Amino acid sequence: MKKYDMDREKRKELLEEIKEYFLEERDEELGDLAAGLMLDFFLERLGPPLYNQGIIDAHGYMSERTDDLFSLLQ
């Protein structure tokens, strides 16, 4: 599986958000290791389809802009 590069500050921020979520929503206290494993799991599972959807959306946007440019020629 591809490892996702993330700066330390962003990873730390996400780990804190995961721990906060579990504490508020499930009344469970997670440590750094458990939160890190959960973050890695979701990055591995959700990262590729979200990335692919971003590429599809960007392609659609750029295609529309290109069509707009070509409409100026007519």
Please give the pLDDT value at position 2: 61
Of the candidates 18, 13, 37, 43, the one whose C-alpha atom is nearest the C-alpha of residue 29 is: 18
Tell me the pTM: 0.73
Please give the pLDDT value at position 42: 94
- The CB-based long-range contact list for 2-8 (8 Å cut-off, 24+ gap) reads 2/44, 2/47, 2/48, 4/43, 4/47
Please give the pLDDT value at position 73: 77
Mean pLDDT of 11-35: 98
The residues spanned by each domain of the chain are 8-71
* Burial profile 21-33: b = 16 or more Cβ within 10 angstroms, e = fewer: ebeeeeeeebeee
Q: How confident is the model at residue 66 (pLDDT cuts 50, 70, 90)?
A: confident
Please give the pLDDT value at position 74: 64
